[in-house]
Structure 1
C-alpha cells in the first residue's frame, strides 16, 4: 500500500486514483498521521459484505444477538391497539 501526504493526493488526484485502481488501496496521511484509505468500489463492496452477516447467516447462527426479556405471567402491561397506530 502506497502512502500519500494529503497535499500530494490533492495535487495529483488523477494519479492517486489510478494508483488505487491499478495497485490497490492507497493510504493518506496528514502531518504524518494516517487518516484515510482510498479503495476501489469493488474492494469497498467486498469489505462491506464481509463485515455484515447475511440474514440467512443471522438466522442460522447459534449465537443470540440479544436477550429477550419476557415478563412473568400476569405482570405484562397491555396497551390499546389505537396507541400503536
Structure 2
C-alpha cells in the first residue's frame, strides 16, 4: 500500500467540488492519500488508488472467515499446545451451613 510517511488528514470533498476538480482528487489518491467525498454533508465514498485498493483486497482475502455461530466461534479458538484438559486442583472445603429460620 503506497502511503506518505505521515499523511495529513484529507479535508473531505463536497461532491460538486469533487466533480469540478476530479483530476486533483485523483492525483491526491495516487499519492496515497485517501480522498473522502461527502454528499449532502454526509460521508459518501472514499477514493483510493488502484494499488491501495488491491492491497486492501489482498489483506481482506488473507483474513479467516468469521465463524457463522457462537458455537463455531468457540470451536475455532486456538487450542493448547498439548490439547489436554486443564488440570486445576480443587479445594476440599465443605460449604458452611446457613440458618434460614
Q: Taking structure 2 as the reference length, what is the TM-score of the superposition?
A: 0.51
Bigger share in strand:
1
The higher radius of gyration belongs to 2
> 2:13 matched to which residue of 1?
4
Backbone CA RMSD of aligned residues: 2.3
Q: Give the number of equivalent residue pairs.
A: 59
The 10-residue stretch of structure 1 (20-29 or 8-17) with the greater mean CA deviation from structure 2 = 20-29
- Structure 2 gaps, min length 5: 1-8, 66-74, 77-101
Q: Taking structure 1 as the reference length, what is the TM-score of the superposition?
A: 0.60
**1:20 aligns to what SS in structure 2?**
helix
Bigger share in helix:
1
Q: Runs ≥4 in structure 1, deviation > 4 angstroms?
A: none
- Structure 1 gaps, min length 5: 64-85
